Structure 1
Amino acid sequence: MEKLPMNESVRPMQLVWFRDDLRTTDNPALASALSSGPVMALFILDEKSPGIRALGSASKWWLHHSLESLQESLAEIGIPLILRQGPAEAAIREIVEQSQTRAVHWNRRYGHAERMVDAQIKAELNAAGIPTRSHAGTLLHEPWELLTKNGTGYKAFTPFYNALRNSEIRPPLPSPAPQQPIAAGQLPSSDALDSLELLPNAATWTEGLAQRWEPGEPAARERFQCVLESIAGNYPETHDRPDLDGTSALSPALRWGHLSAHELWDALGRLASAHPQCADGATAMRRQLAWRDFCWHLYYHHPQLPDRNLRSSFDHFDWAWPEQDARIAQQVRLWQQGRTGFGLVDAGMKQLWQTGWMHNRVRMVAASLLVKNLQVHWKVGERWFWDTLVDADIASNSANWQWVAGSGADAAPYFRVFNPEMQAKKFDPQGSYVAHFAPLAAEPIVDLKQSRLDALEAYEQMKLRPGAI
């Protein structure tokens, strides 16, 4: 990009590039831009840049409606939203050349491929005389800020969490004030939202998503308030119960940035101070929020996390793959369809298909059945969750699947195999969750006792293979 001349007839603009931060409140990139001049906003659907993983179907549905909501929220403060698709580098270059952009602002991303894209764009813009301003707006702490005494990233959650809670976390930013609207003639062209083709062709599949969720910042803030008023106090007793509304259910809002992690952390702290009876619940919820940071911390320091076992010894495990075995392929299909014969797992998988979300306790149980009782590679389950979860993010999805498989950091011991029948008795004691999502029992696809013994034997054999640790 050549150094761009200034057109004195056009007002200089501040460009805010939205990515996974689709909100106006506590958005550092937006706040910085508004303090510097007139602002226009940009979102790029980039599935073409090297290494960028295409979104899953449920995520695309969520994104479509989130962009509709963001457009309305930005319009309320006088900011137009421009939509583009294709490689981000080309889109940014075209936007800058079509407008009088004075500076480009964004909140940082932490995936390796995304960081490479951002670095290339930053270098190109700086060479053209257009400064870039990157901000910390996604995580509680930057992954390079919290390190062990040896200067490396953490691999265990508890010491990471202790370091996080003992560190200084910035307070939320004030809500932005409206700016004077920008004349349409000064704006670059925008793609139509429908042209991004984010909505699945099978409209019937998304009916359940629409009944369960309202994507966007306003709905996220309503749920946020509900969590503070009625859920956080009882969180330690209810968050493991899929039959109750006992979790925050804010994971999609955090994944898409409708809600700031800083704001949630701060609000939970104030709740604990003002209402001591809620302190345990607020602390427990903060701990779950820290798990999200930990997953991104792992991914930043180990970019291979979505593709390779973090513990190399698991490279020697004889995983099953549906592409290589017809029987395994059939078992995986039954698992995906919620027809395993184990009520808690089937209810979770049907909840996932109907709503794009699954209770976290049930996610662990369903994942354990796949990777331990059936000995199917964790990447098979990770791919399915990536396509069907509205809150799918690459760090949490990969880290949590590896945690269950035993191949990741701070992983569950390989000998821990969740028993779905015992888990159901403990966490769905009245059977109401299973009755709601999976009332019709199916024939069990595997013997729990024998498959557990087979899995443990396979893990022992893995340890004996040459090169295994």
Structure 2
Amino acid sequence: MTPAIVWFRNDLRLRDHPALQAALKAGLAPLPVYIHAPHEEGDWAPGAASNAWRHRALVALDADLRRRGSRLHVFAGDSLATLQAVAAATGATAVFWHRRHEPAVEERDSRIRRTLHRQGLRAEAHNGHLLFEPWQLATRNGDPFRVFTPFWKAALAAWNPPRVQPAPTALPTFGAVPGEVPLDALGLPPRRGWDARFWDPRFLDRWTPGEQGAVAALGRFTQERVHGYDKGRDVPARSLTSRLSPHLHFGEIAPWRVIDALVGNTAPEQRAAYVRELGWREFAHHVLHHFPHTTDTNFNRRFDDFEWAEPAPATLDAWQQGRTGVPIVDAGMRELWATGWMHNRVRMVVASYLTKHLRIHWRDGARWFWDTLVDADLANNTLGWQWVAGTGVDAAPYFRVFNPVLQARRFDPDGTYIAHWVPELRGLPAAARHAPWEAGAADEAARSGYPRRPLVGMAEGRRDALAALSRMKA
């Protein structure tokens, strides 16, 4: 059989893999290739937590391939040059891959496809990541959507998810290809091992990268967590979220397989609530494709004149380290550091505190999340930060300032989540954990090593944020 390169990127699975299936349907022998080329991803090369996950996901993919008679061929360097060299060395006549929609990657992939075509190679990009490609949905005027609700209505009207497809039972074997490198040579895992807790089996919230880990996470969600999801997903002390986000980002599971698993054994209202969250993921990629500048600049250009505070290193460090003196914020930031993930409700709270109370630019928060989240996804990260900051599409207005104390009292009423991640406050009564300084417990918290007062108080931060907004409008 004639070889065909299947170029793996953020699609580290064998089930529901349109590029792999296309090679097989064409009667070609799939040659699995991974090329490490972070220098081609512009200003948003993968962060440290993403690299730690990617290493383990690639190990898992290679093991899955070997069980079928194949293996993953790993390279490092320029993608186009590598694909050309591999094709020349193996006699491959085609290259198949899945589209990505990050601006720098889209531009690179278009250039690669044109060049391969000119050289007589079959070069095909498929959709292996989304329910809808960004150009498939448009307003009645043919414009991209800027508001989620009409976008989602259009998506539901055009609903036609692909059918799930099993993984191939067997794949052809290839010998060594010139230029291959060992996976360990990529240097993806951190040298100091700060990610050890991410994977430690002693913790219930540990991660298992790879397709098998994704399938297991989906099983736990559909069997245990989805029941009561519509209300329980906002409670950070309860394990009712799917925790599928890193598996979806790295393409270890297809979104249509997730939906397929929910059909038939999930109450309609719970299923609809979760699928709507997948809809936000779709919307994020739609927005990023049509407005690629939003990774670094405000969608609402009026905020170019907003008076962001100069991010004093000590203040930004305190936020990053979970030392702001606001318990729910600190709990979230410590959960992020310990696990590479943060509950979605808490993500909004910590982002609001940074951009509203501290008035630090959303880009500083987005960069920190990018480096520390195992599910760091450029589309979702950009949309989320601009939404909270009030600068993006369909954004929460800037004047809507989350009060983190009220958020904690509403969604962590017993302070269980706070006590878990901020052990200095475990000895306080539950009602005092949300705001020790308001409950007369500041001294007791300080004796345990916790800040006596917040960096910026709730009323003070709201007042200054709204004053800055007024000056911008003027």
Q: What CA distance in whole angstroms lies between the structure 2 residues aligned with 1:163 and 1:269?
A: 21
Cα distance, 1:181–1:170 mapped onto 2, change above 3 Å: same
**Does residue 1:110 correspond to 2:101, yes or no?**
yes
Q: Give the conservation status (yes or no) of the 8 Å contact 1:340–1:346.
A: yes
- Name the amino acid aligned to 1:457: A
Residue 312 in 1 paired to residue 297 in 2? no
The secondary structure found in structure 2 opposite 1:106 is: strand
Distance 1:271 1:301 in 2: 36
Which residue does the alignment assign to 2:115? 124
Structure 1, gaps ≥5 residues long: 1-10, 273-277, 323-327, 465-469
Does residue 396 of structure 2 align to residue 412 of structure 1? yes
Offset of residue 125 of structure 1: 1.2
Partner of 1:219: 213
1:124: how far off?
A: 1.5
Structure 1 residue 18 corresponds to structure 2 residue 8: yes
1:236 to 214, 218, 230: 230
Within the alignment, does 1:341 sit opposite 2:325 as a pair?
yes
Match of 2:466 in 1: 456
SS in 1 for 2:196: helix
* Structure 1 residue 152 corresponds to structure 2 residue 143: yes
Alignment partner, residue 170 of structure 2: 179
1: distance between equivalents of 2:254 and 2:171? Answer: 26
- State the shift of 1:180 in Å: 4.9
Per-residue deviation, 1:133: 1.6
Indicate the residue corresponding to 1:27 in structure 2.
17
**1: CA distance between counterparts of 2:265 and 2:43?**
39
Structure 1 residue 50, shift from structure 2 partner: 6.4
| Kept after mapping to 1: 8 A contact 2:14/2:168 | no
* 1:268 and 1:283 in contact (8 A); partners too: no
Q: 1:86 maps to which residue?
A: 77
Aligned residue in 1 for 2:457: 447
- The 8 Å contact of residues 321 and 329 in structure 1, kept in 2 or not, is answered as no
SS of the residue corresponding to residue 271 of structure 1 reads coil
SS in 2 for 1:142: coil
Q: How many residues end up aligned between the 2 structures?
A: 442
* Conservation of the 8 A alpha-carbon contact between 2:116 and 2:123: yes
1:265 is displaced (CA, Å) by 2.1
Secondary structure at the residue paired with 1:101?
coil
Partner of 2:254: 260
Q: What SS class does the counterpart of residue 265 from structure 2 fall into? A: helix
Deviation of the 1:176 alpha carbon? 2.8
8 A Cα contact 1:271 1:279, kept in partner: no
> 2:269 — aligned with what?
280
Partner AA of 1:39 in structure 2: P
Q: What amino acid is the match of 1:57?
A: A
Q: Distance in 2 between matches of 1:270 and 1:314?
A: 46
Cα contact 1:27–1:173 (8 A) shared by 2:
no
Q: Which residue of 1 aligns with 2:348?
A: 364
How many angstroms apart in 1 are the aligned matches of 2:314 and 2:333?
Answer: 16
* Map 1:380-391 → 2, pairs under 5 A: 380-391=364-375
Letter matched to residue 213 of structure 2 = A
Among 121, 132, 137, which residue is 2:128 paired with? 137
Which residue, 185, 196, 210 being the options, matches 1:195? 185
1:168 corresponds to: 159
Residue 284 of structure 2 is matched in structure 1 by 295
Residues 40-119 of structure 1 aligned to structure 2 (within 5 Å): 40-49=31-40, 51=42, 53-119=44-110
For residue 429 of structure 1, what is the aligned residue in structure 2? 413
Shift of 1:52: 5.9
The 3 A distance-change label for structure 1 pair 298 and 183 is closer
Q: For the Cα contact (< 8 Å) 1:356–1:388, is it kept in 2?
A: yes
Q: Which of 378, 382, 398 is residue 382 of structure 2 equivalent to?
A: 398
Contact 1:252–1:390 under 8 Å retained in 2:
yes
Coordinate RMSD, CA, aligned: 1.4
Q: Whole-Å Cα distance in 1 between the matches of residues 57 and 116 of structure 2?
A: 28
Question: Kindly tell me: are residues 50 and 253 of structure 1, through their superposed partners in 2, closer, same or farther at Cα, counting changes over 3 Å?
Answer: closer
Per-residue CA deviation, residues 64-119 of structure 1 (Å, 9 max, x unaligned), is 00000010112222232111112211211221121110211011111221111111
Deviations 1:207-250 (A, max 9, x none): 12122211111011011011111111210121001100010010
Which runs of 4 or more aligned residues in structure 1 lie more than 3 Å from their structure 2 counterparts after TM superposition? 269-272
Rounded Cα–Cα distance in structure 2 between residues aligned with 1:180 and 1:349: 44
For residues 422-461 of structure 1, the C-alpha deviation after alignment (integer angstroms, 9 at most, x for no partner) is: 1111111111111111122323111110110110111011
Task: State the TM-score, normalized to the length of structure 2.
Answer: 0.91
The alignment's TM-score, normalised by the length of structure 1, stands at 0.92
